[in-house]
Amino acid sequence: MTIPARSAFMAWPDERIARLAAGRTMVFAPGGTSRWYFLEHGSTAEGYSKEAAFTDYGRRSLRRTVELVAMMARTGMQMVFVVGFVPGQDQRTQTYNANLRWGYELLVDDGARALYRQHDLGVLFRGGWDALFERLGAEHLSTAVRDLEAATAAQSKPWLVWLTQSAAPVPQALTGLVAEHIRAHGRMPPREDLCAAYYNRPISHVDILLGHNKPSLAGLIPPMMTVGDAYFSVRPSYYLTRDTWRHILYDHLFSRRTSHRDYDAISAGDLESLRAFYDDSPHTLGIGRLHEPTQTWRPVLPD
């Protein structure tokens, strides 16, 4: 494949990029959403513990999430897993948990359904949602989730998959399939078959994972899936732009897809430039410092 110039790729229409990236699966794990809200819309003095403020935060966050998923889908992503909960998030305060309950109502209410229709997105919920709803005292949401999934079942693609971590290595929904396969064949079903049954699509691998801030995969990997290229933004996720997304796609499609190196073709001068690059780059990606005034972790970046 001829690698296009980055500047040319940035100007391509979505449809052309989608032909190259077609059928890919990704995880989008929004982070820094509260910081984004208070920087752009809310007031830190008022916070969002009151219903009106949290309502505003929740609706703006959902709208921005769906807009970004739609942008990703237009460039070929067939399934975008959006991390809607991370381990420990429900172990804060009672007020926070009450807001969580209401926030998850937002994912399935009429306003959310209108957003999904507007952007032609099918919707699934995967992971430990039922257990989470039970812990939050919001068991009724499990029924609402099933209703929403049924309403978009005819959607062919693309899909937004709301994800939360499950404690079980194999989801409970697959226990019957696993038991039957073991009885018939004396072994576990292939992972790819389990994934296809669980996600209703022949997928088993995440091509792109886009997280935020501290590089960590904890709570971000869909059950039974493997993960390929991972990226972590410094700015809060809702600041993601079309250009930044295209830089990620260019890296994924071209920059990381190198074959084995032909060391015979590297000149002595280029080898010395490689040495100089390493000498000037003693950094380890993922190291940061706590910035106490803003209570944020900040990566240590080259000067």
- 22-48, pLDDT tens digit by residue? 999 999 999 999 899 999 998 888 877
Between strands 205-212 and 226-233, the pairing is parallel
Cβ atoms of 206 and 81 closer than 8 Å? yes
Cβ atoms of 105 and 141 closer than 8 Å? yes
Q: Which two tokens stand for residue 241?
A: 């732009």
Could you give the angle at the alpha carbon of 223 between the alpha carbons of 139 and 112, nearest 5°? 50
Query: Tokens 């669980």 sit at which residue?
Result: 198
Nearest to 208 by CA among 33, 18, 28: 28
pLDDT at 210: 98
pLDDT at 54: 82
Other beta carbons within 10 angstroms of residue 175's beta carbon come to 11
Distance CA 60, CA 17 (A): 28
Torsion-angle region of residue 112: left (phi > 0), alpha (psi -120 to 50) or beta? alpha
pLDDT at 93: 62
Cβ atoms of 76 and 20 closer than 8 Å? yes
Q: Which segments within 104-175 are labelled E, that is strand?
A: 122-127, 159-164
Secondary structure class of 77 (helix, strand, coil):
strand
Other beta carbons within 10 angstroms of residue 27's beta carbon come to 24
pLDDT at 136: 85
CATH dotted code for 21-258? 3.40.1180.10
Nearest to 101 by CA among 61, 59, 141, 148: 141
Cβ atoms of 204 and 196 closer than 8 Å? yes
pLDDT at 225: 95
pLDDT tens string, the chain, 303 residues long: the values are 789 999 999 999 999 999 999 999 999 999 999 899 999 998 888 877 777 888 888 899 999 999 999 999 999 999 999 998 655 555 556 766 777 788 889 999 999 999 999 999 999 999 989 988 988 888 999 999 999 999 988 776 799 999 998 777 888 889 999 999 999 999 999 999 999 999 988 999 999 999 999 999 988 999 999 999 999 999 999 999 999 999 999 999 999 987 777 888 889 999 999 999 999 888 888 999 999 998 999 998 877
Cβ atoms of 104 and 133 closer than 8 Å? yes
pLDDT at 182: 95
The residues spanned by each domain of the chain are 21-258
